[in-house]
Structure 1
C-alpha cells in the first residue's frame, strides 16, 4: 500500500499543479479527489481517514488563505475569489493528508523531526510547483520564509492529528525469542 500511496499521491500532485499551470484546475482537482477517494476506500477505518483528510483540508485552507492575504504568492488559475486560495491547492492538502498515516507514519514518535522536515520539504514542494507554473513567488524571500515557518509549525500538528485520526491499521509483527522447533 505504501508504494501505491506514494505513486498515486504524486500523480495527483502533478495533475493539480500542471492543471493549474495550463488553466485546467478542475481536471487536476478531479484527479486528486479520485486518489483521495481510492485511499479512503481501501483504508481499514474509512471514517477516521476521511475525518483526517477533512481536518487537514481545513488547516490547509486557513494556511493558504494567510499566504494569499500576505500577497507574496500568486496563482494562475482556480481562485474563485481573489482573497481565497485556489481550490486545487486545498485538494493538494487532501493528497498530503492521505500520506500521513501511510508513508509519513514513521514521523509519529519524532515530532521535532516533523518540524524540520516540514521546514525543508514544504517549501521545496511549493518551489517545484512554482517551477512547473502552478504558482508564482511575487516576493520570493518573504514567500519562502512564510512557507518555512508555516510548514515547521504545521507539520508536527498534522502528524499529531494523524495519530488521533488513524484510519490505516498497520499489522504488528510479533517477535518471540523461542525458536520454531522448540514449540514442537
Structure 2
C-alpha cells in the first residue's frame, strides 16, 4: 500500500535532506582537509534550494541575514578563544568559508523543515542552545574545528548561549521574509499534484 504524502511534507523532507547533506559535506570535507571543496559543494546545495523555492528574493534576505550573523557570532567565538579552525579561513580571526556555508544551509530550513518553529521564540531559543552546542561539538569530534579552551563546558556554554540568541533573531527574520500568500512548497511538479 503506497503512502501518499502532501506536497508540503515532501518539501520539508527534501529541504531536511538538503540541509543534512550540506552539513555532512561541509564538516566532513573540512575535516578531511578539503575546506574549499566542502564550501563549494555545500554552496551548490544552497543554490539548488534557491532554484526550488517559489520566492528566491525573500529567501535570499533570510540567508543573507544568517550569513552576517555567522560572521559575527563565529568571529566572536574565534576572538574569545572558544573555537579554532585549523584550515580554510581567509584570515585567522574570520570563520572559514565552509562554516559560513553552514549558516546559509541552516537558514534555508527555517521556512521549510523548521517552519513549525515559526513564532515559537522560547522553544527556538531552547532548541538552538542545545542543538547549536551539539552541532559544534560534533564538528569538533569529526575534526573540522577545535575548542581552543581546555574547559569544553565553557566552550559549549558560550556556543549554546549564542545559538539561543541566534535562533530568536533568525526566527524573527524568517517571519518577516516569509511570503504569506503562498504555500511553502518547492517548485517541483510532483509536489503540486500530490498536495
Q: TM-score, normalised by structure 2?
A: 0.84
Pairing 1:94-113 to 2, within 5 Å after superposition: 94-113=104-123
| Cα distance, 1:85 vs structure 2 | 1.2
2:166 equivalent to 1:158: no
Specify the alignment match of 1:65 in structure 2. Answer: 75
Q: Please name the residue that 1:114 is paired with.
A: 124
Give the ranges of 4+ consecutive aligned residues of structure 1 lying more than 4 Å apart after TM superposition: none
Return the alpha-carbon distance in structure 1 between the equivalents of residues 21 and 127 of structure 2.
21
Which residue does 1:170 correspond to in 2?
183
**Structure 1: any 5+ residue segments left out of the alignment?**
172-184
Which residue of structure 2 lines up, in the alignment, with residue 41 of structure 1?
51
Give the aligned CA root-mean-square deviation in angstroms.
Answer: 1.4
Cα distance, 1:12 vs. partner? Answer: 1.0
The structural deviation recorded for 1:167 is 5.5
Instruction: Give distance in 2, aligned partners of 1:49 and 1:104.
Output: 14
Q: Deviations over 1:140-179 (max 9, x none)?
A: 12211111110111101101111111269426xxxxxxxx
Q: CA deviation digits over 1:46-90, x for unaligned, max 9?
A: 111011111110111110100010012111211111111111111
Say which one has the larger Rg. 1
Task: Provide the TM-score with structure 1 as the length reference.
Answer: 0.89
Flag structure 2 segments of 5+ consecutive residues without an equivalent. Answer: 1-10, 185-195
Task: Name the CA distance, whole Å, in 2 between partners of 1:2 and 1:39.
Answer: 12
Q: Which of 75, 79, 83 is the equivalent residue of 2:89?
A: 79
Inter-partner Cα distance in structure 1 for 2:42 and 2:165:
25
User: 1:5 is matched with which residue?
Assistant: 15
Moved more, 133-142 or 63-72: 133-142
2:155 pairs with 1:143: yes
Distance 1:5 1:108 in 2: 16
CA shift in 2, pair 1:167/1:33, >3 Å: farther
Question: Contact conserved, 1:47 with 1:167, CA < 8 A, in 2?
Answer: no
Quote the Cα distance in structure 2 between the aligned partners of 1:13 and 1:37: 15
The match for 1:21 is 31
